[in-house]
Chains A and B, each alone.
Chain A
Amino acid sequence: MLEVKGLTKRYGKLLAVEDVSFRADHGETVGLLGPNGAGKTTTVSIIAGLLSPDAGEVLIEGQRVESDTDPVKLRIGLVPQDMALYDQLSARDNLTFFGALYSIAGAPARKIITEVLDLVGLSDRADDKVQTFSGGMKRRLNLAAALLHDPQILLLDEPTVGVDPQSRNAIFENLETLKRTGKTLLYTTHYMEEAERLCDRIIIVDHGKVIADDTLSGLHKLLPVTNVLAIGLDCADGFNPDKILALPEVKFVQLEKTTLRVAVHDLSRGAPGILRWLNENGHPYNRVASEQPDLETVFLTLTGRSLRDS
C-alpha cells in the first residue's frame, strides 16, 4: 500500500506541490490527472525518492524510505517519463543491467528477462539494439525495465507520451495484465481517456493541489451538470463564448475551433434558449448534439479551464 501524507514541495518561489495526500491500496490503479505543470511528476519523483519534500511523507507498506539503499525501495518500480534506456545496447543487455541494479543476476535474471520481454511483446527483438526500436517499442521496454524486481507498487509517469495509438493500446494491455496480478499502479497522465480506461480511482491535481479524489462515477457526481450540448458553428470568428454564460441553465462554455460546448443543468430547458440566442445574434450553426460529461468536463467544472489547454 502507498500512502502519501501532506506532501509539499517548493522550487524557489514556485509552489510545485501543496499539501498533497492520497493512498493507493493493493491491486488498485490510481490515476494522477492534471495538465502539464500541475505537479504530477514532482509528486511521483518524491515517492520514488528522487526529490525530498519540504513537508509531508511517503509510506510504502507503512514504512518511510530512510536511505538510498533502503530495502523498501525494492517495492517500488519507476517508469520515468523520459526514456531511461541505453540506445547502444540491446533490449536484453539493458534489462540485464537494470536487473543487476537490484542484484538480480545469472539464471534467475535470464528467466525474469524472458518473462518481462514476453509480457511487453518484445521477445523477438530481444537482441536488437534499442536504437533500432520505434518509439512505442522503447516505451514498452521502458516499462519492462521497471518490472524486473517484481515491485508491488509501480509508478508510471506519463508512460504513453509520444507513442502511436497501436503502441498505446499495447501498453494499456500490459498494464491491465499487471493490474490483474494485484500490483498497485500510480499512473500520471494528462490524457483523460487513459485515466478513464485504466484507473479505479482518479486524483485530479492542478497548480500542485489535489482538487478531487474519487472513482470515475464519484467524480461524475461532483458535476453540477448532467448534459453537454455540442453545437457546430458555421463560423467562430469573433464569437465570444462568455456571452452564453449569462443565459439561464448554462454552467460553463468552451469553444474549440468551431465546436461550441455548453454544459447545462437541464437540457430541455436550457437548449432552446441557447439555440435561440445564437440565431438572434447572427451565429448560424450546422450541427447540434448532446454529450455525456467526461473527465474533461469534470476538470473544466472544477478549475474553469480545459485540461489540455492549461
Chain B
Amino acid sequence: MIPFLALIRKDLKLFLRDRRAVVVGLLVPIVCGSFFGYLFGGHKGIVETSKVPVLVMDQDESEISRALVSELAAEKNLAVQQSTLEAARDAVRKGKATAAIIIPKGFGAEAGRALFRRTTKPEIGLLYDPSHNVEFSMVKGILTGAVMQSVSREMFRGRSGLEMVNQSLVQLENADLPPDDKTALLHLLTGVKEWNERQGNSTTLGGGLSTPYETRDEAITSGKNVEYNGYAHSFAGMGVQFILFMGLDVGITLLMLRQSGLWQRLRAAPLSRATLLGSRAISAALIAGFILFVLFAFARLVFGVHIQGSFAGFLGICAAFCLMTAAFGLMVAALGETVEATRGYSILATLVMVMLGGAWVPTFVFPEWLQKLTVIIPTRWAIDGFDGMTWRGLGFSSALAPIAVLLLFTLLFGTLAVMRFRWRTDE
C-alpha cells in the first residue's frame, strides 16, 4: 500500500506544484462557464439580448403605412431604421440587417379594402438574411401583428377608413343584390361610419385589432419560486470539457513517461501493473474531483448555482465522471503510438464528445436523429446528470442512470487501457 499511496501523493504534489497550470486550469473553465452561462440565460433566466436590426422602406407614405412603421419602431425586440431599397439590399447581404420590410405604394388603401372585401391583397416585400432564420420568423410574426393593428385602427377610426366606408355605401346603392342582403350591408356600413365618426372622443378599439389573448408564463424548474440558472448548465458543460482535457493530458503524460528514465525506474521497482496504472487513475480522478469542486463552488458563490436536487446524486455523478475521465486518460496512453499523433486524434475525440454531449449548446437544439445518437456519448450523460441534480432539482433515482452509464464507460475504457497498455519498452 505504501507504493500505491506514494504514487498518488506524488501525482497530486506535481499537479499542485505547478501553480500556474493549476490557476490556468481552473480559470479557463470558470471564464468559459461564466460567458456561456450569461449567453444562455444567466442568473434567474434574465439575459440582455441584442435587438434584431430591421430596415423599413415606406413607399406608400399613407396614414396606415406610417402607423405601421411606428408600430414596428415601438417593438422592443426590433431596432428599426428607415432605408432605401438599394441600401437595404446591401445591408442585408453584408449581414448588417437581419431583414428589410418594403411597404409598397398603395398599401394603405389596398390593405383597408382587403380587410372587408374579397380583393387582391397588397404585397409587403421582405428581404432577409438566410443565416438568421429564427430571427426572421420572429420579425414576420411581429409584422403580422403590427399590420393588423394599424390597418384595423385606421378602418375603424381614421379618415381613410371613413372615405372607404362612404365609397362602399355609394357602390352598395347601385349593387345588384337581393333586397335583404342589401339592407343588412347598409346597416353594417352605416354602423361602421357612425362608429368611425364617434371615435374622436373614444378609446374603444382605439388601438385597432389586437391578439385576443394573453399568456401566463411559468418556467418549470426544481420547485415553486426557484428560478432557472443558466450558469448551472454552462459550468457543468465547461467542467466536463476541461476535465476531459485534463484526462487527455494524463494520457499524454503517461505516454511521454514511457519514453523516459522515470518509467525505467518505476518498472525496475517491484510494483504490479495494477499499482502503476491504478494509482494514476486514482490521482487523475482526485484531480478531476478537485476541479469540479472549485468550479461548482465558484458557480455557487458568484452565480448562485445550487444543487436543487439530490446532493448524493450529484456526488455520485461527480465521482463516476471523474473515474470515467481517468479511465479515458489511461486508454489514450494505451492506444497512443507517438505523442504527437496521439495528441491530435485524442483532442479530436474529446472535442467530439464535448460537442455532442451538450457542453457547448444544450442537446435539444440538435436535430432529432442526433439527439438520439448522442446517448452513446458519455459526456451527454454527465451533463444531463449535472443538469438534473442542479437546476432541474431531480431526486437520487434520476442520478442512477447517468452514474451507471458513466461507470460502464469507465469499465470499458479501463479494460481497453489494461489490455492494450504496453508495459515493456519494446512492446
A residues near B (Cβ < 8 Å) are 9, 11, 45, 48-52, 68-71, 73-74, 76, 78, 80-86, 88-89, 93, 96-98, 100-105, 142, 145-146
Query: At the interface, yes or no: B13 with Cβ under 8 Å from chain A?
Result: yes
Q: Is the interface of A mostly helix, strand, loop or mixed?
A: loop
With A88-B17, A93-B13, A103-B3 in contact, is A69–B267 under 8 Å at CB? no
Q: Is B373 among interface residues, defined by CB-CB distance under 8 A?
A: no
Quick check: is B76 within 8 A (CB to CB) of the other chain? no
Q: For residue B341, give the distance in angstroms from its CB to the closest CB of chain A.
A: 20
Per-residue CB contact flags for chain B residues 102-125 toward chain A (1 = under 8 Å, else 0) read 000000000000000000000000
Report A12 CB to chain B, min CB distance, Å: 10
B264 with A101: CB separation less than 8 A: no
- On whether the beta carbons of B266 and A101 are closer than 8 Å, the reply is yes
Chain B, Cβ-Cβ closest to A16: B426
Query: Could you say which residues of chain A place their CB within 8 Å of the CB of B267?
Result: 48-50, 68
Residues of B247-276 at the interface with A, using a CB-CB cut-off of 8 Å, are 260-262, 264-273
Residue in chain B with minimal CB distance to A83: B261
Give Cα A78–Cα B262 distance, bound, in whole angstroms.
11
On whether A89 and B13 interact (CB within 8 A), knowing A84-B261, A100-B3, the answer reads: yes
Tell me, in angstroms, the Cα distance from A9 to B266 when the chains sit together.
Answer: 22
* Distance of A76 Cα from B267 Cα, bound (Å): 12
Knowing A88-B18, A101-B6 are in contact, say whether A48-B268 is a contact too (CB < 8 A): yes
Q: Which residues of B contact A98 (CB under 8 A)?
A: 265, 269
Residues of B close to A101: CB separation below 8 A = 3, 6-7, 265-266, 269, 271
Which of A9, A49, A97 contacts B10 (CB under 8 A)? A97
Q: Which residues of B contact A (CB under 8 A)?
A: 2-3, 5-7, 9-10, 13-14, 17-18, 260-262, 264-273, 424-426
Separation of A96 and B272 alpha carbons in the complex (Å): 19
Report how far A82 CA is from B266 CA in the complex, Å.
Answer: 13
Asked if A49 contacts B268 (CB within 8 A), the reply is yes
* Residue in A52, A78, A82, A93 whose CB lies within 8 Å of B268: A78
Interface of B is mostly: helix
Contacts of A9 in B (CB 8 A): 426
Q: What CA separation (Å) do A200 and B271 show in the bound complex?
A: 33
Q: B6: which A residues are within 8 A, CB to CB?
A: 96-97, 100-101, 105
User: B425 touching A50 by the CB < 8 A rule?
Assistant: yes
Nearest CB in chain B: distance from A250 CB, A: 43
Give bound CA distance, A86 to B18, whole Å.
12
From B6, B14, B272, residue with most partner A Cβ within 10 Å:
B6
Tell me the bound Cα distance from A73 to B265 in angstroms.
12
Q: Given A78-B264, A82-B260, A101-B6, A73 and B13 touching (CB < 8 A)?
A: no
Does the CB pair A45–B270 fall under 8 Å? no
Which of the residues B2, B7, B260, B270 comes within 8 Å of A68, measured between beta carbons? B270
Chain A residues with CB under 8 A of B7: 101
Measured CB to CB, the closest approach of chain B to A120, in angstroms, equals 16
Residue of A nearest to B10 (CB): A97
Sorted nearest first, the 7 A-B pairs with minimum C-beta distance are: A100-B6, A82-B261, A84-B261, A80-B261, A101-B269, A78-B268, A84-B265
Residue of B nearest to A44 (CB): B264
CB distance from B261 to the nearest CB of A (A): 3
Compute how far the CA of A45 lies from the CA of B271 in the bound complex, rounded to whole angstroms.
Answer: 16
Q: List 11 A-B contacts (CB under 8 A).
A: A45-B264, A49-B267, A68-B273, A70-B270, A71-B270, A82-B264, A101-B6, A101-B271, A103-B2, A105-B2, A146-B265
- Of all chain A residues, the one with the shortest Cβ separation from B5 is A100
Are B424 and A52 in contact, with the CB atoms below 8 A?
yes
CB distance from A92 to the nearest CB of B (A): 12
Interchain CB contact under 8 A, B425 and A86 = no
Q: Quick check: A51 and B17 within 8 Å, CB to CB?
A: no
A101 to B13, CA, bound (A): 16
Q: Contact: A50 with B268, CB < 8 Å?
A: yes
Contact of A86 among B3, B10, B424 (CB under 8 A): B10
Contacts of B262 in A (CB 8 A): 84-86
Tell whether, in the assembled complex, residue A69 and residue B272 are in contact, meaning their CB atoms are under 8 Å apart.
yes
| Contact residues in A for B272 (Cβ distance below 8 Å) | 68-69
Provide the bound-state CA to CA distance between A101 and B260, in Å.
17
Q: Does the CB pair B14–A51 fall under 8 Å? A: no
| Complex interface: chain A residues within 8 A of B261 (CB) | 80-84, 142
By a CB distance below 8 angstroms, the chain B residues around A71 are: 270
